[in-house]
Structures are given as structure tokens and as C-alpha cells.
């Protein structure tokens, strides 16, 4: 007999633990392909839960037929810290047994998740983080007035929009919300606080810097994240676009149908595929993020400047982006093509930064 026979409940897991057995229900499962010089490999990641809680997992040897809702018994798995939170790892010595016909209640509300791990598969969550700028407005329903506080909440893994119905929130404060409702709007996740949620002040001492994510671990549309990756291909339609200076809408011809007298202004739409060795993601950016990379000053970027035209911008994007390494910071959104990163700032980094990063990741997955 090898290993321990004890089966742990997910709520009792700590890190690091080796050779442990658990039984749980797959709350969410995704597949990711990684290619490097050793070839292409495939791993799964997701969330598994039982009546005591949920935990994210990474599995390097899992049957592709497993799906959301399956109840499984896992032997010989381990836990480790991954970027400040506990994660379950399955490798080639782990054994996964499907328990057909079994169901299991998953306790989701106690799932205290980092913001970067939130996903639509956990509709009620507990999160802790720091409150951003707060906007208040009155809302009337059935003759009853409520104040809505719109803001954001962030931790060291991401940032997400937050609306509180009736419960005041204070800018800069650190709070814990239990029983927040998670939903998706326009491709971004957001959470809301209502009368069933509990809000309490906590001391987290959060120091929020750059939130670097490996592309392979990005699994949900949250904001405020950064990647370091190489631009491996450009979208064909990347280039110069025109906007109406009155309504900011993109216009195809020389004027806006609604504001024919308003002058047009220039913008850039660039989209490209970024690869950091752990995966690829589609990223896009506008002129604010792109002009510096392209070596164009903002005051030169006007329709009056004859040096600027569609061909010039398209060629410049190809020349300055393709095959080079960048740091991109922005928001991840869920679109019909999958997750994509809307970049608000882009800066070039050296290839050394990328190779150091790749070594770090390989060490992590060994």
C-alpha cells in the first residue's frame, strides 16, 4: 500500500501537501496547449469543490473526457502556493477515478477567491480587496430609493467592477465581501453587493504593483493585469482608423452621418497574438497605447499631417511589433473568439526579460 488512505476535504487543504487524496466535483475545467522547444503538451486547469469549499487545480495528465459536473476521486495529488494562493496539482503519479452517477453539493459561498481566479462558474463568492474611486447615484424601485455605489475592487491578482446596492463603500478601504454575486456584462466580470452580502472592513496591507500573469493561467475576464510576451502575428485589419470628433464613433468615409460638419480625428486599431511560452492570447490596442511604440508624437498624429496615412501606419505597426517582446497592461475580456486582452499601455522589453521568464515557468512546472 502506498501513500495515505485518508481523503481530505477541500476546506482542510493547506500548502504544501504531498500525496494526498481528495474527492470532489469539477466546477469548471479548461484545456490549454503549450508549445516550447520540447514540442507541444496539453494541460487542464479549473476549479474543483466539495461541501467544504473549492480550490483551483492544474493537471498535467488528465483524461480529456472529464467535464464540468463530474465527481472524481483523486489520489496522489499535491498542493502548492501559486502566486499567493493555494492550488492543487495533479501530475503523472496522480490517479483520477470518475464516480459515475454520484453528485455532490459544492459549498461555493465560502470559496474565498483571488480576483484573478474569479469565473462565471462560481456565481457567489467571497473576495477581499481594496476599493477604488466610488461613484454614487440614486436608484428608485417600487417607490423605494436606494443608493448605488459603483466602484472597483482589486487585489494583487486583478481588478473587477463592483456595484453595491445600498451598502456604502469607501474609496481606499480594504474590505471582505461574503456572498457577492458574480456576473458578466459586455465581456467583463463584475460583482454586486446586495442585502444578502456581508461587507466587513479588514486589514490586508495590500501592496499592488504590476500584476504579471502567465498567459496560460489567465482564465477569466478580469481587469488590471499585465503580460510579458512576444508578438507572434498581427491582425490583417490593424491600422489607421477615423473617428468623428463629436461622437467618437468610427467612421468609414470622410465624415460622420450624424455629424457631417464635425472634423474627423485619427485613431489606431491594432490587434495581434501574444505568446509567452505558457500560451497565446489575442490583444488589441488603440492610439493611446500604440503611438509611443510607433515612434509618433501625439501632436503629429492629425489628419493635417500628410506624412501619416493608412499604408504608413500599417507598415509601422508590422515593423515595430512583429517578433518583438512587450509588456502589455490592460483588461481581459471574454469575446466570441475567447479571452482577449485590451491593452491600455504597451512598452517594449528586451528578449532577455522573456527568456528569464520562460526559465522561471519551466522550473514552476517541473
Candidates 4-12, 67-75, 143-151, 240-248: pick the segment binding Zn ion (CB under 5 A).
Answer: 240-248
Residue 352 neighbours by CB under 8 Å, 6+ apart:
none
Burial class of residue 108 (count of CB atoms within 10 Å of its CB; 0-12, 13-18, 19+): buried
Torsion of CA 179, 184, 189, 191, to 10 degrees: -30
- Coil, strand or helix: which one is 244? strand
281 contributes a contact to Zn ion by CB under 5 A: no
Smallest distance from Zn ion to CB 330, Å: 26
256 contributes a contact to Zn ion by CB under 5 A: yes
247 contributes a contact to Zn ion by CB under 5 A: yes
Smallest distance from Zn ion to CB 175, Å: 41
The three-point CA angle 253-268-303 to 5° equals 55
Give the DSSP H or E segment for 96: strand 95-98
Smallest distance from Zn ion to CB 240, Å: 18
Rounded to whole angstroms, the Cα distance separating 331 from 359 reads 26
210, 258, 315, 360: which one binds Zn ion (CB under 5 A): 258
246, 267, 292, 334: which one binds Zn ion (CB under 5 A): 246
Smallest distance from Zn ion to CB 245, Å: 8
346 alpha carbon, distance to own chain's centre: 17
Smallest distance from Zn ion to CB 242, Å: 11
Candidates 25-33, 54-62, 163-171, 241-249: pick the segment binding Zn ion (CB under 5 A).
Answer: 241-249
244, 290, 293, 354: which one binds Zn ion (CB under 5 A): 244
Please name the residue that has the C-alpha cell 503629429.
300
Give the pairing type, strands 174-185 and 144-155. unpaired
202 contributes a contact to Zn ion by CB under 5 A: no
Residue count, binding to Zn ion (CB under 5 A)? 6
Q: Name the residues that contact Zn ion, by CB under 5 A.
A: 244, 246-247, 256, 258-259
Amino acid at each position: 500500500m502506498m501513500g495515505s488512505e485518508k481523503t481530505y476535504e477541500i476546506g482542510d487543504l493547506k500548502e504544501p501537501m504531498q500525496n494526498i487524496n481528495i474527492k470532489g466535483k469539477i466546477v469548471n475545467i479548461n484545456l490549454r496547449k503549450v508549445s516550447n522547444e520540447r514540442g507541444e503538451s496539453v494541460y487542464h486547469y479549473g476549479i474543483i469543490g466539495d461541501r467544504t469549499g473549492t480550490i483551483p487545480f492544474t493537471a498535467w495528465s488528465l483524461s480529456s473526457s472529464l467535464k464540468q459536473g463530474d465527481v472524481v476521486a483523486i489520489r496522489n495529488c499535491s498542493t502548492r502556493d501559486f502566486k499567493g494562493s493555494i492550488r492543487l496539482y495533479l501530475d503523472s503519479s496522480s490517479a483520477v477515478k470518475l464516480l459515475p452517477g454520484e453528485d455532490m453539493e459544492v459549498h461555493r459561498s465560502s470559496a474565498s477567491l483571488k480576483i484573478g481566479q474569479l469565473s462565471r462558474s462560481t456565481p457567489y463568492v467571497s473576495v477581499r480587496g481594496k476599493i477604488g474611486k466610488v461613484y454614487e447615484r440614486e436608484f428608485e424601485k417600487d417607490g423605494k430609493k436606494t443608493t448605488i455605489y459603483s466602484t472597483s475592487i482589486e487585489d494583487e491578482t486583478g481588478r473587477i467592477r463592483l456595484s453595491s446596492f445600498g451598502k456604502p463603500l469607501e474609496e481606499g478601504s480594504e474590505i471582505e465581501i461574503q456572498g457577492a454575486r458574480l456576473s458578466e456584462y459586455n465581456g467583463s466580470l463584475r460583482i454586486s453587493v446586495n442585502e444578502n452580502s456581508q461587507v466587513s472592513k479588514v486589514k490586508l496591507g495590500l501592496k499592488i504593483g504590476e500584476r504579471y500573469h502567465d498567459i496560460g493561467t489567465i482564465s477569466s475576464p478580469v481587469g488590471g493585469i499585465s503580460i510579458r510576451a512576444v508578438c507572434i502575428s498581427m491582425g490583417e485589419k490593424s491600422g489607421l482608423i477615423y473617428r468623428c470628433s463629436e461622437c467618437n464613433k468610427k467612421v468609414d468615409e470622410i465624415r460622420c452621418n450624424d455629424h457631417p460638419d464635425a472634423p474627423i480625428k485619427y485613431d489606431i486599431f491594432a490587434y495581434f497574438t501574444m505568446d509567452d511560452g505558457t500560451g497565446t492570447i489575442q490583444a488589441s490596442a488603440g492610439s493611446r497605447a500604440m503611438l509611443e511604440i510607433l515612434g509618433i508624437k501625439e501632436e503629429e498624429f492629425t489628419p493635417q499631417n500628410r506624412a501619416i496615412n493608412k499604408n504608413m501606419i500599417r507598415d509601422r505597426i508590422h515593423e515595430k511589433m512583429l517578433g518583438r517582446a512587450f509588456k502589455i497592461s490592460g483588461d481581459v475580456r471574454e469575446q466570441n473568439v475567447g479571452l482577449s486582452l485590451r491593452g491600455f499601455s504597451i512598452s517594449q522589453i528586451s528578449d532577455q526579460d522573456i527568456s528569464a521568464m520562460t526559465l522561471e515557468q519551466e522550473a514552476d512546472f517541473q
